[in-house]
């Protein structure tokens, strides 16, 4: 009977492990099929923010009040994280304890990807830190743009936000970057189809002075939304020009230009 009991326990453990692997594989397959913009839009679609949740613009950019909708670029308010004398930018982070070990591994993989490509180093929060990223599963996927001071929320909901592309996307917001399609030179590369945009959502396509750092417009940026973003009728809201057949908004990780402009902004 004891042998049978141990065999049953072993079988249950193996089944549980296989189930977790199946979930991971299923989510990886989903991320390959959906662009980062689609993942974000799906995760934030049914968002029902309460008083503790920030206002979101452009789908996933958090702002503290309506007055911030047309705020100046974050560099005008000293939004960059501190660079140390050794040339590194150390950004403390805290991961809330409601994530599973597998979910934490997805988040840490995204955090660690920056140190291999730039001078940005995310490190665990320590007592005495006065500003840090607080990574939590709140209502949807979102981040503030640039350093805010104090505990700065980056929301990566367990319901749809835990993919490598979305982690990198939200961290780039926290580092000071906006969406590619809001670049001031956008109209030379993207034609916005205003008539197809959901009523009341046109502001999400306003152009702003983004931190392009002399890099070209990048259809493959992890910050570029896909062509049907905020569509009310299933038709494209963005069409590339002059070649309307160019693929864009399909990134699953940071592009070379994303990395280049990050390194230029922080003078890595």
Please return the burial class of 129, using the count of CB atoms within 10 Å of its CB with bins 0-12, 13-18 and 19+. Answer: middle
> Token pair for residue 130?
């006065």
Q: Which of 38, 170, 180, 226 is catalytic?
A: 170
Give catalytic status of residue 20 as yes or no. no
Q: Which residues belong to the annotated binding site?
A: 169, 173, 179
Report which of 77, 63, 80 is spatially closest to residue 204, judged by C-alpha positions.
63
| DSSP E strand boundaries for 157-218 | 190-192
Place of tokens 């950019």: 61
Alpha helices, DSSP H, located in 64-196: 101-115, 164-175
Output 13-21 pairs: Cβ under 8 A, ≥24 positions apart. 20/102
> Token pair for residue 70?
């047309």
3-state SS assignment for residue 154: strand
Alpha helices, DSSP H, located in the chain: 2-33, 36-44, 101-115, 164-175, 256-265
CA distances from 129 to 93, 123, 149 (A): 10, 11, 10
Q: Which residues belong to the annotated binding site for Zn(2+)?
A: 169, 173, 179
Catalytic residues: 170
């Amino acid at each position: 009977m004891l042998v049978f009991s141990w065999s049953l326990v072993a079988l249950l453990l193996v089944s549980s492990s296989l189930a977790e692997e199946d979930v991971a594989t299923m989510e990886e397959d989903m991320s390959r099929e959906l662009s980062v913009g689609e993942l974000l839009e799906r995760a934030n679609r049914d968002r029902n923010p309460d008083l503790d949740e920030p206002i979101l613009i452009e789908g996933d950019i958090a702002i503290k009040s309506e007055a911030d909708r047309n705020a100046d670029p974050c560099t005008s308010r000293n939004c960059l994280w501190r660079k140390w004398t050794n040339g590194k930018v150390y950004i403390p982070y805290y991961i809330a304890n409601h994530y599973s070990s597998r979910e934490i591994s997805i988040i840490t993989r995204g955090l660690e990807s920056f140190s291999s490509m730039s001078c940005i180093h995310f490190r665990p929060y320590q007592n005495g830190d006065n500003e840090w990223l607080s990574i939590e599963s709140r209502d949807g996927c979102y981040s503030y743009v640039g350093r805010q001071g104090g505990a700065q929320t980056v929301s990566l909901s367990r319901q749809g936000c835990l993919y490598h592309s979305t982690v990198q996307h939200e961290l780039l917001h926290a580092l000071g970057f906006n969406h590619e399609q809001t670049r001031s030179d956008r109209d030379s590369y993207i034609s916005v189809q205003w008539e197809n945009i959901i009523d009341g959502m046109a502001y999400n396509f306003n152009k702003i002075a983004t931190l392009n750092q002399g890099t070209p417009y990048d259809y493959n940026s992890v910050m570029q939304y896909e062509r049907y973003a905020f569509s009310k009728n299933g038709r494209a809201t963005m069409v590339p020009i002059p070649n309307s057949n160019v693929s864009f908004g399909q990134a699953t990780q940071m592009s070379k230009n994303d990395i280049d402009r990050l390194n230029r902004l922080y003078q890595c």
